[in-house]
Chains A and B, each alone.
Chain A
Amino acid sequence: MTARTTRLLAVAVLAAGLIVPVHAQDHRHLVVIGGIGGEPHYDELFHRWATTLVRVAVESLGIEPANVHYLPGSRQVAPGDGKSRSATGEVASVTSIGALLDRAARASSPGDMVLVVLIGHGTARAGRILFNVEGPDLSAGTLAEMLASFDGRRLAVVNAASSSGPFVDALSVPGRVVITATAGGNENLAPVFGGHFVTAFTEAADSDKDGRLSLREVFDHANRRVAESFEGGQRIRTEHALLDDNGDGAGSRSPGADAADGAVAARWFLSSPRYAFDSEAGRGLLARDQRLVDRIAQLKRRKGQMPSPDYLAELERLLVALALNRRALRAAADP
């Protein structure tokens, strides 16, 4: 993570040319929607998860507060400190959710990153898959219609409710990341996934050490914590989170190189990039950086088909190149 504000006007001159790191307009948006808890314990729990996520988004990820929206699920938690809550004091209902999503869609532009997170209870009843809110529940189909207004945005939707698995099928669109706390409608006990999803943003979840948290890293981290929470208590695991990002309507429990899903989520970031330049030279360094990373990824996929010494030699060559390029990037960003 870089302190971009202090580097806003930094100028670096390299042999390659003029490089200007930039502080772009914030293209990241977070919409958190709480569900009705049904009892004080869950009202408080959902509210705590939601407000933690909102706080992390603003304070740690540096998302513009104006781009962060929270619609509490219960009137028991809606009044109060206000700062991180619905400006209107409303609670989540089908109507208010629709209105909020519409506002968020209009506030965003094509290409923006938009993360929509639902935290609450869900039900799967008579073929209808629902997120429980005040008044009529929000169905997966209705939510899918509401999200249509985000066309062109890089949208990710997380439903951390019980029985949320079928939302994958309803919301799946190529290029969109959909995460659910459970694998099916029959996993109907209150899941712990949501809490771990939120805390992943504050824990050391950056497994590829690129200085940014991708949604896949957050998902993987939360998933591990869920597994630990059940194994630690020696209980039967009652929830299995899914991630879908290839638009096929079927989520993966373990997204990644060996799974159908995970490629889009691995490049879906809420945190800003480590380096950003608007000069051609800077962009050139970044492009080379990405090329090298891509080549390393390709090489790793060929690992099993290559003699080990050849693989290691090629890996080292690419890594050395990447390391040198990184030096150049750092020098350019902080001359």
Chain B
Amino acid sequence: MRTPRLARVLVLSLLPACHATASTGADVPNDPLVRAAALLAAGQREQALESYRTAAEPGAERRLEAMVGAARILRLAGQGPVARATLEEALALYRDGIGVDRVGETVAAGRAAALLGASDPSRFIEALDLFEAAIRLDPQHAAAKLALADLLLSRYNNREALPLYREVLKTDAENPQALFGLARSQYFDHSRAALDTVRRALELAPDLAPARVFLARLLLDSGDFDGVGRELDKVLETDPVHPGALTIRAAAALLQFDQAAFEASVEAVTSTSPGYSEMYADLAEIAAENRLYQDAIDIARRGARQHPDDSRARALLGVNLFRLGRVREGRRHLEAAFRGDPYDVWVKNTLDLINGMREFVVVRQGRFELVARERDAAVLGTKLFPLAERAFEFFQQRYGYTPPTPVRIEFYDRRDDFSVRTVGLVGLDLLGVSFGPVVSLVSPAELSGQVNWGSVLWHELAHTFHLSMTRSRVPRWFTEGLAVVEEHLANPGWGNDVDEKFLAAWKQGKLPPASRLDEAFTRPSYRGQVVHAYFLSSLLINYIEQHHGIGAIRAMLSGYGEGKNTETLFAEVLGTGASDLDDAFATYVGGRYAHVIDELGLADGGGSAYRASLEAGRKALDQGDPDTAHALLADARHRVPELAGPESPYHLLARLHAGRGETDLAIRELESIVAIDADQLAPLSELARLYREAGRPAAAAGALERALFINPFDATIRERLAEIQENNGDFEAAVDQRRAVIDLGPEDSAGAYYRLALSLDGAGDAEAARGEVLRALEAAPMYDDALELLLRIRAALGYEDSLDSGALDPPDHS
């Protein structure tokens, strides 16, 4: 979701000499170029422009650099055509040989081309060539390398930008520009290190305004509005009309739902920097990152209206319309954006995705609209619609709220498509996302039976309610935690569970306190922290609900919708301050898992009694000593009954009992596993087998039904389920399974149609059975069993077929 575009704009407004000069205070340098930069840094644009013009006189040493500086000011002032003409003139001079043998002027020419790229993306290529030419002139020139790196990063090419920043820092570890570039590169990669890096840059160059604005942006991400204000004040104190700083101030107001302050900041930018089109795109981007999709649309629309040539605002308008299910309108804007900037990979990916979705089908049923490939829609539909309706009714009751319908549920059978749909780029490692009225999920076809898609759908539908109730103002920790709690309420085996890594992280203080949980989502400090944050957030919701009831949850949702922040709601709804709640919650978590922490040896770093029993039990089992194994494994299970992941005591005990023929005991262990963790397919499969062995076909069918929430595309599960259902006389249910098998495109299509015909015949629908057996025989005419079934069905329908009736020329019954 995050892109480095804002930073790109800011860094381009930076002149190499200005920060150093501006920091010298009131001294007015004689060099007009240096003077211009200092004046610009102080917000005195008219004077700065004058100085640039002086510095751009024919014959001046750094004429092109001055022209580019002047063009920037002109552009901000809303004099785009004059600015562009100035830049073109600079480039024409360069082509005529002015400055071609000087690195600084070549870099300036490159910057001119890069600025022109905003309205003509082909100029980015020209800029690239010029920056590379500058580097050839002086391979050690830091500014040339940084200019190239900035350009690459602005075009999403961090893979090549990052080494350039590192190269400069290798020579000069204290180059603030390079550190600033590195920070943006890290931000692009979602690394929390960006914060430290930009702070280091600012230690070295406190007046590096773009870096400070960038720092404010990072603080905004973590909800540190005070910090944002402090950093922006420092910039605006020097340059009261700094458009980047004013933009982030507007963004902060937006995220605090202060409409008046938002509009005031927007007005401040438009009145002082009418040419600063980046503002709308930046604000739309920040809004979308905070799931304020409708705000993003409104802001981007304003941007597209005021700056029709701004492809970025139009792209954001298109993408966010698409997110809210307004595909046709979104596509129109995306196509316009693509015409303006065909190099925008985000737009290109999204348009490709939308084009690919032409092959998707739309199935409407009840309150929902399923959008998926035909096969996925057919296979998932029978389970999806009832589950979604159940979830909707449950949430309606629980929250006393009804969101608008239909809710659109999209399934993507390629992870890359889902990733593009969600963030515009490939590589996102999530299972589902809710944009409010649109829920987007990775198809279980792509998940190899590893995830319970029913629980994922339930989770995302919970978000749909939260986002709708709060006008998307609910913070991430609250909605994620609540959605996990909802999963547990629907099915104890659904949703994130406690595990050893989580408890270790919590015990080591690696997770933020209750009042700062959002930080773990926005800028995780270690791999896996986001997953832990989901669970920790669910514990906080549990804590709130247990102590204050569902009314408090509703009240907080309502409060968020009114624009109140978490701290205020803690006080108003829970009657506690953030600090007190942090303490109370820490005590709650510690108490709830004290025994697990103790058994796992996490408290004192000592040995784990649980693990000792588990390992010894496993060893005894492997060595053929089931009695000893049983005692040890039962002990381990007793010590930490919460842990049921693969290779848990439950699994080993189930294996042990099954091996001994103790079916009922094996069943008990397996039932415990799936009650704790319903994401595991193997125990459900084994359960179904054992239930059948124990003469419990209904339970076996139930286990296989649950297995279909993990792998609905497994034809074997469906065939097994259909057999059980047929044996139980439930032919209607078996028909559903048989149909799904056909939707899966079985290798043995004739056999699949034949078995469907058998089920239909059993269900008393001889006419439908006749149609399916004909399909089977169309594929395999010599299929003796199917030929016999055809005769039998026809007999049931009243046909009298016999050789005597004229086998090769039977009467026309049709």
Contact = CB atoms under 8 A, between A and B. Distances in A.
A319 interface: yes
Given A207-B748, A288-B808, A326 B780 contact: no
Contacts of A291: 808
Q: Which 10 A-B pairs have the closest CB atoms?
A: A209-B783, A210-B782, A323-B787, A313-B814, A209-B780, A321-B807, A208-B780, A296-B781, A324-B807, A323-B791
B784 interface: yes
Given A208-B779, A293-B781, A326-B784, A321 B774 contact: no
B540 to A, nearest CB: 40
B546 interface: no
Given A210-B780, A211-B782, A320 B751 contact: no
B802 A324 contact: yes
B791 A312 contact: no
A317 interface: yes
A233 interface: no
A317 B810 CA distance: 6
B27 interface: no
A292 interface: yes
Contacts of B788: 323, 326-327
B791 A209 contact: no
B647 interface: no
A309 interface: yes
26 contacts: A207-B747, A207-B749, A208-B750, A208-B779, A210-B780, A210-B782, A291-B808, A293-B781, A300-B778, A312-B774, A313-B814, A315-B777, A315-B778, A317-B810, A319-B774, A319-B777, A319-B781, A320-B810, A321-B808, A321-B810, A322-B781, A323-B787, A324-B791, A324-B801, A324-B802, A326-B788
A326 B791 CA distance: 11
B768 to A, nearest CB: 14
Contact of A207 (B780, B791, B801): B780
A224 B747 contact: yes
Contacts of B786: 209
A309 B771 CA distance: 12
A317 B774 CA distance: 11
Most buried by A among B748, B803, B813: B803
B774 A315 contact: yes
A292 to B, nearest CB: 7
Given A316-B774, A320-B790, A325 B807 contact: yes
A12 interface: no
Nearest to A228: B747
B794 interface: yes
Contacts of A208: 750, 779-783
A326 B780 CA distance: 14
Most buried by A among B749, B777, B786, B788: B777
A328 interface: yes
B812 interface: yes
Interface in B755-810: 774, 777-788, 790-791, 794, 801-803, 807-808, 810
Contacts of A325: 803, 807
A200 to B, nearest CB: 12
Most buried by B among A210, A288, A316, A317: A316
A2 to B, nearest CB: 12
A325 B788 CA distance: 11
Given A208-B781, A318-B781, 5 more contacts: A288-B808, A319-B790, A320-B794, A324-B801, A325-B807
Contacts of B802: 324
Given A321-B807, A321-B808, A325-B807, A209 B750 contact: yes
A13 interface: no
Contacts of B774: 312, 315-316, 319
A288 B808 CA distance: 9
Contacts of B779: 207-208
Contacts of A313: 812-814
B787 A319 contact: yes
B538 to A, nearest CB: 34
A319 B788 CA distance: 10
Contacts of B749: 207
A288 B784 CA distance: 15
Nearest to A309: B814
Nearest to B791: A323
A275 B814 CA distance: 32
A323 B780 CA distance: 12
Interface of B: 747-751, 774, 777-788, 790-791, 794, 801-803, 807-808, 810, 812-814
Most buried by A among B749, B781, B810, B814: B781
Contact of A209 (B784, B808, B810): B784
A204 interface: yes
Contacts of B748: 204, 207
A324 B790 CA distance: 10
Contacts of A323: 787-788, 790-791, 801
A319 B779 CA distance: 12
A328 B788 CA distance: 12
A134 B726 CA distance: 58
Nearest to B784: A326
B745 to A, nearest CB: 11
Interface in A288-335: 288, 291-293, 296-297, 300, 309, 312-313, 315-328, 330
B790 A293 contact: no
A321 B791 CA distance: 10
Contact of B782 (A209, A300, A320, A321): A209
Nearest to A295: B808
B416 to A, nearest CB: 13
A114 to B, nearest CB: 25
Interface string A221-259: 000100000000000000000000000000000000000
A291 B791 CA distance: 19
Interface string A190-212: 00000000000000100111110
Given A209-B751, A224-B747, A312-B774, A320 B801 contact: yes
Most buried by B among A288, A318, A320, A321: A320
Contacts of B787: 319, 322-323, 326
A320 B785 CA distance: 13
A204 B715 CA distance: 15
Nearest to B789: A323
A334 B790 CA distance: 22
Contact of A320 (B750, B778, B791): B791
Contacts of A324: 791, 801-803, 807
A226 to B, nearest CB: 14
A288 B777 CA distance: 17
A166 to B, nearest CB: 30
A321 B802 CA distance: 8
Contacts of A321: 807-808, 810
A269 to B, nearest CB: 12
Contacts of B785: 209
A297 to B, nearest CB: 8
Nearest to B812: A313
Nearest to B799: A320
A126 B777 CA distance: 50
B676 to A, nearest CB: 30
A292 B809 CA distance: 11
Nearest to A293: B781
Given A316-B774, A317-B810, A320-B810, A211 B750 contact: no
A6 to B, nearest CB: 19
Contacts of B803: 324-325, 327-328
A313 B814 CA distance: 6
A293 B782 contact: yes
A322 B784 CA distance: 9
Contacts of A318: 781
A279 B791 CA distance: 27
Contacts of A204: 748
Nearest to A313: B814
A315 B751 CA distance: 18
B662 to A, nearest CB: 34
